[in-house]
Amino acid sequence: MPDTKIVVISGAGISAESGLATFRDSGGLWEGYNIEDVASPQGWQENPRKVLEFYNLRRKKAAEVQPNEAHKALADLEDDFEVVIVTQNVDDLHERAGSTDVIHLHGELRKARSVKDEALVTDIGSDPIHLGDLAEDGSQLRPHVVWFGEMVPMIEFGAKEVSEADILIVVGTSLVVYPAAGLIEYTKPNIPKYIIDPAEPQLFNLDGWVHYKEKAGSGVKKLIKKLKKEHS
C-alpha cells in the first residue's frame, strides 16, 4: 500500500468550509477587493499600501480559522498511502491539519520576500507587512505570493509529482488558472482521477474522471473511505 502514490491538487474551494472565501465564487471580487488591484505587479506599482493591507487581512483571517474535515481527511490518508498535496492555496490549512508533503504553487501568506530578490524569503507567521519593512538586502518586503502575470517557479515540482501519481484527486479548484490548470495533463495514462467540486468541472474532456458533485468536507471523506476499502 505505501507503494500507491496519491497526488492531490487543491484550490481555494477546499478552504471555503473553514471560512476563507474563494474569489471566483464572490462575483469577481476577492473579499471586496478587485483582484487586479491587489494581486498583480501593476497593482503593487500603483498602490503597494493597498496590496499589503489586503494580504495582511488575508494572513490575519487565515490564522483565525481552522482546518476542516477535508484537510484533516487528506492528512489522515498518509497512514495508508504516499500523499503529496499540490495546492494553489496560500493558506497553511493543509499543514495545520497534519499533511507533511505540501507544494504551494502560488506561495504562502506566512512568508515575505524581498522585492528585488525572490530567493530572499523570510517567515513572518501571522504578522503584518508594512511599507518600510525591509528584507536583509535593504529592499521592501512584499508578500511571498505569485501574482497574476508572474512566473510560477514551483510548477515543475508539481508537474513531477503529478507525473508519478497512481491516483489523482482534484478538489476545490475550477482549474481555470494556468499554469496550475495544465498539471492534469502530466498524469500517466489510465490512472483513476477524481474531482470534488459542488460546481460542474470546467474540463474540456471529462472522460476518465469521476466527479463528486459536493463540497470538499463530505466529498473528500466519501472518496477516501472508498479508496481505503479498495486498497486494504
Q: Which of 6, 7, 9, 15 binds ligand NAD (CB under 6 A)?
A: 15
161 interacts with ligand NAD by CB under 6 A: no
13 interacts with ligand NAD by CB under 6 A: yes
Where are the extended beta strands (E) located within the chain?
Answer: 5-10, 29-30, 33-34, 82-87, 102-104, 107-114, 121-123, 141-145, 167-171, 193-196, 209-212
Q: Give, to the nearest 10 degrees, the angle between helix 69-76 and helix 216-230.
A: 20
Q: What is the DSSP letter of 134?
A: B
User: Residue 52 or 90: which CB sits closer to ligand NAD?
Assistant: 90
Q: Which of 215, 223, 224, 227 binds ligand NAD (CB under 6 A)?
A: 215
Assigned C-alpha cell, 113: 520576500
Please pick, among 94, 104, 106, 144, the residue that the annotation labels catalytic: 106
CB under 6 A: which stretch of 124-132, 136-144, 196-204, 222-230 binds ligand NAD?
Answer: 196-204
For 176, phi then psi, to 5°, come to -115, -10
Other CB atoms within a 10 A radius of the CB of residue 222 amount to 14
CB under 6 A: which stretch of 76-84, 126-134, 185-193, 195-203 binds ligand NAD?
Answer: 195-203
Instruction: Determine whether 211 is an active site residue.
Output: no
Q: How far is CA 194 from the centre of its chain?
A: 17
User: Residue 103 or 139: which CB sits closer to ligand NAD?
Assistant: 103
Q: How far is the CB of 5 from ligand NAD (least distance, A)?
A: 23
Q: Are 112 and 34 in contact (CB under 8 A)?
A: no
Q: Are 30 and 105 in contact (CB under 8 A)?
A: no
Binding mask 75-114 for ligand NAD (x = CB under 6 A): -------------xxxx--------------x--------
177 interacts with ligand NAD by CB under 6 A: yes
Other CB atoms within a 10 A radius of the CB of residue 51 amount to 24
Q: How far is the CB of 160 from ligand NAD (least distance, A)?
A: 19
Assigned C-alpha cell, 26: 464572490
Residues 20-79 that bind ligand NAD (CB under 6 A): 20, 22-25
CB under 6 A: which stretch of 11-19, 43-51, 161-169, 184-192 binds ligand NAD?
Answer: 11-19
Q: What is the DSSP letter of 177?
A: S
Chain residues in the site for ligand NAD (CB under 6 A): 11-17, 20, 22-25, 88-91, 106, 172-174, 176-177, 197-199, 215-216
